[in-house]
Amino acid sequence: MSTRASLLLLLVVSAACSRAAPPSDSAVSASASAPEAGAAGHATAASASAAPSAPSAAPSDAGSDARVGLDIIYVPTPQKVVDKMLEVAKVTKDDVVYDLGCGDGRIVVSAAKKIGARGLGFDLDPQRVKEANANVEAAKVGALVSIKQENVFSVDLSPATVVTLYLLPEINVKLIPQLEKMRPGSRIVSHDFDMQGAIPDGHWTVTAPEFVNGEGYSAWKGAKVPEDKKNYRERRHEIYLWTIPLKKAQPADAGAAKP
């Protein structure tokens, strides 16, 4: 992650933590798009910056975080970015896609519905598991996709051929030992955040809308995307791709693991 994005993350976290908690079924979000994944999709709100917004601790999801000990709150990936992630990872019907911290399941649901790939989504938050299961059902991909309530750090990744991430840079790094259990040729694709120490094979930027609320930061709306779209603004979303075996940066390059 760039220094700018890191700073932004810290700012968003600080701002969020200083506010009172809104209704429990809500969360700060970095992005928004009509949730193609199904009925349980949601509107979100955005940071005020064009730089990658960071999923962060936030007032709106504080209750949820406290209940299940989340490492990061829910921030959905816009469908346009989901589609690009699946494209750059070259997902086929023969792939097994794992989404670590799957939120409403839109990535694995999309991979199954559009490509016919099998998928497993993992999330610790029971609310997200419920929404993801509703989306699996709505998309009629139950034969291909399962959702599990499980900590990302305990998932055996060896059966996966593609892993998708929208977590945080330090979580990506912490997952490296698990990711390296995947077979050679397996791909890892991350929304917005890199993985320090591992050199990506590719880096793409996608411009997609995110919702900005009156306070100028991303917020969970707990509802479908508003029709008017007037509060949407475009921002750039970064996508990083790695292939197993990971190409490790030399210590001198470690801070700048660029493709």
Ligand X SMILES: C[S@@+](CC[C@H](N)C(=O)[O-])C[C@H]1O[C@@H](n2cnc3c(N)ncnc32)[C@H](O)[C@@H]1O
Q: How many CB atoms lie within 10 A of CB 176?
A: 16
Whole-number minimum distance, CB 70 to ligand X, in Å?
4
Our CA dihedral for 110, 80, 77, 14, rounded to 10 degrees, sits at 180
| Residue with smaller CB distance to ligand X, 191 or 235 | 191
DSSP per-residue codes, 122-181: E-S-HHHHHHHHHHHHHTT-TTTEEEE---GGG---TT-SEEEE-S-HHHHHHTHHHHTT
Whole-number minimum distance, CB 76 to ligand X, in Å?
4
190 three-state secondary structure: strand
Whole-number minimum distance, CB 252 to ligand X, in Å?
31
| Residue with smaller CB distance to ligand X, 107 or 182 | 107
| Residue with smaller CB distance to ligand X, 88 or 107 | 107
| Residue with smaller CB distance to ligand X, 104 or 251 | 104
**Exposure pattern of 132-159 as b/e (b: 16+ CB <10 Å)?**
bbbbbebbebeebbbbeeeebeebebee
Distance (Å, whole) CA 96 – CA 254: 30
The two tokens of residue 59 are: 């007032």
The two tokens of residue 121 are: 């989504």
Distance (Å, whole) CA 28 – CA 76: 10
| Residue with smaller CB distance to ligand X, 72 or 212 | 72
Whole-number minimum distance, CB 206 to ligand X, in Å?
13
Nearest position to ligand X, beta carbon: 101
| Residue with smaller CB distance to ligand X, 78 or 197 | 78
Whole-number minimum distance, CB 114 to ligand X, in Å?
15
Q: Which helix (H) or strand (E) holds 208?
A: strand 202-211
Whole-number minimum distance, CB 68 to ligand X, in Å?
7
| Residue with smaller CB distance to ligand X, 124 or 141 | 124
Binding residues vs ligand X (CB under 6 A): 55, 70-72, 74-77, 99, 101-103, 106-107, 122-125, 128, 151-152, 166, 191
CB within 8 Å of 252: residues ≥ 6 apart: none
The two tokens of residue 146 are: 């399962």
Distance (Å, whole) CA 10 – CA 50: 16
Whole-number minimum distance, CB 50 to ligand X, in Å?
19
